[in-house]
């Protein structure tokens, strides 16, 4: 709606105005204040982590070095514009139009940094400008320590978190994997695995981890679904979600190695859960097992930073309960999700990302709700980033000012099972091609 667009524009302009007049002590990202370092010390075009960023997270967010005496609080605003190749059949969301939408996409408040000694946290609360609600977001509270075993270094710790993989150190697993920013007002394909956000903020998990000799990383733990009342109090709607029966085990293993200016990491991760579909316990449980493999490569020699991220997830679903409730055709389905991204950052300022996504799996028309019954989707993404103050810091009045400007184009070759007429109403996959322009402002 026109009034909605105007309201969003005013909100964005007002928010940016507040940022620009904020006092320095209130406008510095908390991790940067704590360490005294610029964002580029931990990130290769945030939020992607570099070697120091992984160490900072592994060791519990407690590294010091800065001289700030303020609490480790920070904030972030994302404003965006979304255009699809053709108008969507209905409005993109409540109070928005069927195309060409301007939005205050989200505004977040963070507690990020040391709590006490070896205990630190990353806690995010977010206002969703599309859904018009405020809720707890990604949370990772961790204790970390180190020891020497057989003359080699061992780092170990525990993470209490609310989203499987949010505690991970690599930008290949779902919680912090590419895309780091995407439109909430563009069509997205139907099918995704449970570990790809299907439990995000709905659960509480405790995992223990260790890294031996800067080479081998291992982690194991479990997740339980939060009660309806707890979720509601945290701003999360429990309706329609998959509720874990008991505890769902989670695992992570990774082998990493530095080769001079080159870094390579290869690993596996996964989750196995007995779930009640839609929190309905009347028909028994489903059994879903997600197994992922991932690879990350980084090359960094000033002024060049190159990253390659790859991920493949295979999900086996035994849908005994879902089929009994009439929500799937099959008692057993397979879903596969593949992702590959090449990212280049020049002089910590100019970024280019090329990405490929592919979804395949069993034919199940009732489960996926697609005309063909298949979950197949295939998309390509090109993204340009501009970070004018990432390398040397912001202007003298606010040296921590570090906005990120994004232009992203998503092209679909297949969408929800088909290339042409995927919905039975003449809509083609390419009709969902999306131009997304955003500004990401942490402060």
Interatomic CA distance for residues 377 and 429, integer angstroms: 9
Q: What would the DSSP string read from start to end of 120-135?
A: EEEEEEEEETTTTEEE
Interatomic CA distance for residues 324 and 241, integer angstroms: 17
Residue 127 token pair: 């206002």
Residue 149 token pair: 């075993």
For the segment 329-364, what is each residue's pLDDT rounded down to a tens digit?
A: 999 999 999 999 999 999 999 999 999 999 999 999
CA distances from 40 to 37, 184, 240, 434 (A): 8, 27, 40, 29
Interatomic CA distance for residues 370 and 424, integer angstroms: 9
Nearest Cα residue to 332 out of 349, 315, 346: 315
Instruction: Please tell me the predicted confidence (pLDDT) of residue 29.
Output: 67
Phi-psi region of 125 (alpha: psi -120 to 50; beta: other; left: phi over 0): beta
* Residue 126: pLDDT band with limits 50, 70, 90: very high
What are the domain boundaries of the chain?
Answer: 2-442
Instruction: Please tell me the predicted confidence (pLDDT) of residue 19.
Output: 33
Choice among 4-18, 76-90, 387-401 with the minimum mean pLDDT: 4-18
Per residue, what are the HEC states of 363-382? Answer: CCHHHHCCCCCCCCEEEEEE
* Residue 27: pLDDT band with limits 50, 70, 90: very low
Which class in CATH covers the domain with range 2-442? mainly beta
* Residue 177: pLDDT band with limits 50, 70, 90: very high
Q: Phi and psi dihedrals of 349, rounded to 5?
A: -130, -45
Per residue, what are the HEC states of 183-203? Answer: CCCCCCCCCCCCCCCCCCCCE
pTM for this entry: 0.90
Burial class (CB in 10 A: 0-12, 13-18, 19+), 174: buried
Q: Which residues pair with 209 in a beta bridge?
A: 157, 219
For the segment 38-97, what is each residue's pLDDT rounded down to a tens digit?
A: 777 777 777 889 888 899 999 999 988 877 777 888 888 999 999 999 999 999 999 999
Instruction: Please tell me the predicted confidence (pLDDT) of residue 10.
Output: 36
First to last CA, the chain: 30
């Amino acid at each position: 709606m026109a009034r909605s667009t105007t309201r969003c524009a005013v909100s964005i302009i007002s928010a940016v105005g507040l940022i620009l007049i904020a006092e320095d002590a209130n406008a510095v990202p908390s991790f940067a204040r704590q360490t005294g370092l610029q964002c580029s010390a931990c990130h290769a075009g945030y939020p992607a982590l570099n070697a120091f960023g992984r160490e900072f997270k592994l060791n519990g967010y407690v590294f010091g070095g800065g001289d700030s005496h303020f609490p480790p609080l920070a904030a972030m605003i994302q404003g965006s514009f979304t255009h699809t190749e053709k108008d969507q059949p209905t409005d993109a969301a409540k109070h928005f139009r069927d195309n060409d939408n301007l939005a205050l996409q989200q505004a977040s408040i963070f507690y990020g940094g040391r709590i006490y000694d070896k205990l630190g946290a990353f806690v995010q609360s977010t206002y969703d400008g599309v859904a018009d609600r405020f809720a707890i977001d990604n949370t990772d509270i961790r204790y970390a320590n180190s020891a020497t075993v057989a003359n080699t270094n061992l780092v170990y710790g525990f993470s209490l978190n609310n989203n499987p993989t949010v505690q991970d150190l690599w930008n290949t697993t779902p919680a912090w994997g590419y895309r780091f920013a995407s439109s909430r007002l563009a069509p997205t394909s139907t099918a995704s695995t449970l570990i790809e956000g299907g439990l995000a903020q709905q659960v509480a998990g405790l995992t223990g981890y260790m890294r031996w000799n800067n080479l081998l990383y291992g982690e194991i733990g479990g997740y339980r679904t939060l009660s309806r009342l707890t979720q509601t109090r945290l701003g999360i709607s429990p309706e329609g979600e998959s509720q874990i029966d008991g505890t769902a085990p989670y695992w992570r293993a990774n082998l990493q190695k530095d080769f001079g200016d080159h870094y390579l990491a290869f690993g596996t991760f996964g989750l196995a859960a007995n779930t009640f579909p839609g929190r309905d316990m009347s028909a028994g449980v489903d059994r879903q097992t997600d197994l992922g493999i991932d690879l990350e490569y980084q090359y960094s020699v000033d002024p060049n930073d190159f990253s390659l991220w790859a991920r493949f997830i295979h999900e086996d679903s035994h849908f005994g309960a879902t089929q009994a409730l009439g929500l799937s055709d099959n008692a057993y389905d397979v879903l596969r999700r593949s992702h590959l991204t090449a990212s280049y950052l020049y002089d910590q300022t100019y970024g280019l990302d090329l990405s490929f996504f592919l979804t395949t799996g069993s034919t199940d028309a009732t489960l996926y709700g697609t005309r063909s019954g298949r979950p197949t989707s295939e998309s390509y993404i090109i993204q340009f980033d501009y970070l004018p103050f990432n390398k040397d810091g912001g202007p003298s009045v606010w040296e921590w000012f570090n906005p990120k400007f994004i232009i992203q184009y998503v092209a679909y070759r297949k969408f929800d099972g088909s290339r042409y007429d995927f919905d039975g109403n003449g809509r083609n996959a390419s009709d969902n091609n999306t131009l997304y322009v955003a500004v990401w402002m942490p402060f």
